[in-house]
Amino acid sequence: MNEWIPVYQATNSLEAHTLKGSLEVSGVTVQLQGEALSGALGELPANAVEVTLLVRAQDLEQARKILESYRRGAGPAWYCRHCGEHNAGSFETCWQCGHESDMTEL
């Protein structure tokens, strides 16, 4: 029951890490497959290397929802600057306090 399921194919390492971050703040554990061997996060390779995002079966449904909102162009998840609440990228206002998103990048 520790199976990893591919949910998304990123076109490059930067996109993969952006999505991985969005998923992980929502509690989804992500594994990247196919990434270039350069380990340092500070040196993301500029060349396009396709990276597959893998999640575990129990996180699959949630991961798909998050990725779906990403595909719709909703952008990454964000934190409310007013109350600090975490919001999915598809929300334009904070679900907690109604403060408008200024789309602060993580």
- Which residues contribute to the site for Zn ion (CB under 5 A)? 80, 82-83, 85, 94, 96-97, 99
Least distance in Å: CB of 23 to Zn ion? 21
Q: Which residues lie across from 87 on neighbouring strands?
A: 78
In angstroms, the CA 58 to CA 86 distance is 21
4 vs 79 by CB, closer to Zn ion: 79
Closest CA to 32 of 50, 54, 5, 56: 54
61 vs 100 by CB, closer to Zn ion: 100
7 vs 80 by CB, closer to Zn ion: 80
Angle between helices 60-71 and 13-25 (to 10 degrees): 120
Least distance in Å: CB of 100 to Zn ion? 9
Q: Which residues lie across from 79 on neighbouring strands?
A: 86
Least distance in Å: CB of 79 to Zn ion? 9
